[in-house]
Amino acid sequence: MGIINLGGPGTVVADGQAFELEKLDGLYLGRGTRDVSFQTADAAQPACFYLLSVPAHASYPNARCSRQQAAPVALGTALTSNARTVYKYIHLEGLQSCQLVMGLTVLEPGSVWNSVPPHIHPRRTEVYFYFDVPEEQRVFHFMGEPAQTRHLVVANHEAVLSPPWSTHFGCGTTHYGFVWGMCGENLEYTDMDPAPLATLR
């Protein structure tokens, strides 16, 4: 299971071990962890724990990864309205897991497009969970086969599940963030097939 805190400071206690998580800190809980509880440090600023769990056939140790440790990479440009920072928590060079790859992306103010250029993951399923979307704003999430896309209108704290054959990218009415998580054949973050913009329909 991967856990990312999207709210105020909080604590996850797993089998008696406490992990303090600030906003955008992550945690991996391996197979066999039995007793898990969640605590908020300040009720006025409640923690918001997003959980993503996938099957596991091997055990890896429970471990925390701060936002600063999550290999932040700046991508995109303001010119194309997709300047963003990608944080990778659970992946081959980060927290070790059995089948889960997980991280998040935060768009800069003035940028609205995510995951451009689009792509698919033929060997993995991916889940997007949108956060920090103001109540009155929305994200238009595109999915489907590249030659036959459709869109969903997504609000804050809503998730979209993309099967391996589906592209996944979006455009918001403001900047926002989203957690991404994948499960499938391998843990290669870069394992994707491009779907160039000119081919989309």
Query: How would you list the strands of the sheet with 159-162, edge to edge?
Result: 73-75, 84-90, 100-107, 177-184, 124-131, 159-162
- Share the mean pLDDT of the chain: 95
How high is the pLDDT of residue 191? 80
Tell which wins on pLDDT, 168 or 123: 168
Residue 185 predicted with pLDDT over 90: no
Structure token pair of residue 60: 């890896």
Stretch 24-29: mean pLDDT:
98
Stretch 37-65: mean pLDDT:
96
Residue 153 predicted with pLDDT over 90: yes
What end-to-end distance do the CA atoms of the chain give, in Å? 35
> 7: pLDDT confidence band, cut at 50, 70 and 90?
very high
Structure token pair of residue 185: 């054949």
Structure token pair of residue 88: 């990778």
Residue 59 predicted with pLDDT over 90: yes
Residue 188 predicted with pLDDT over 80: no
Q: How far apart are CA 51 and CA 36, in angstroms?
A: 12
Stretch 87-99: mean pLDDT:
94
165-196 burial, b at 16+ Cβ within 10 Å, e below that, comes to ebbbbbbbebbbbbbbbbbbeebebebbeebe
Domains and CATH numbers, the chain: 2-65 (2.60.120.520), 73-199 (2.60.120.10)
Stretch 97-126: mean pLDDT:
94
Residue 123 predicted with pLDDT over 90: no
80-119 burial, b at 16+ Cβ within 10 Å, e below that, comes to ebbbbbbbbbbbeebbbbbbbbbbbbbbbeebbbbbbebb
> 187: pLDDT confidence band, cut at 50, 70 and 90?
confident
Q: E-assigned strands of the chain?
A: 2-5, 10-14, 17-21, 26-28, 36-40, 49-52, 63-65, 73-75, 84-90, 100-107, 113-114, 119-120, 124-131, 139-145, 148-154, 159-162, 167-172, 177-184, 193-194
How high is the pLDDT of residue 121? 87
How high is the pLDDT of residue 31? 95
How high is the pLDDT of residue 83? 98
Question: Lowest mean pLDDT: which of 13-27, 51-65, 173-187?
Answer: 173-187
Residue 2 predicted with pLDDT over 80: yes
Stretch 72-97: mean pLDDT:
95
Residue 190 predicted with pLDDT over 90: no
**Partners of 88 in the β-ladder:** 103
- Looking up tokens 């797993």 gives 14
Residue 94 predicted with pLDDT over 80: yes
Q: What's the number of CA atoms in the CB half-sphere (13 Å) around residue 98?
A: 15
Per the CB < 8 A criterion, the answer to whether 106 and 115 are in contact is no
Question: Lowest mean pLDDT: which of 102-116, 165-179, 185-199?
Answer: 185-199
Q: What's the number of CA atoms in the CB half-sphere (13 Å) around residue 40?
A: 11
Residue 108, amino acid: E
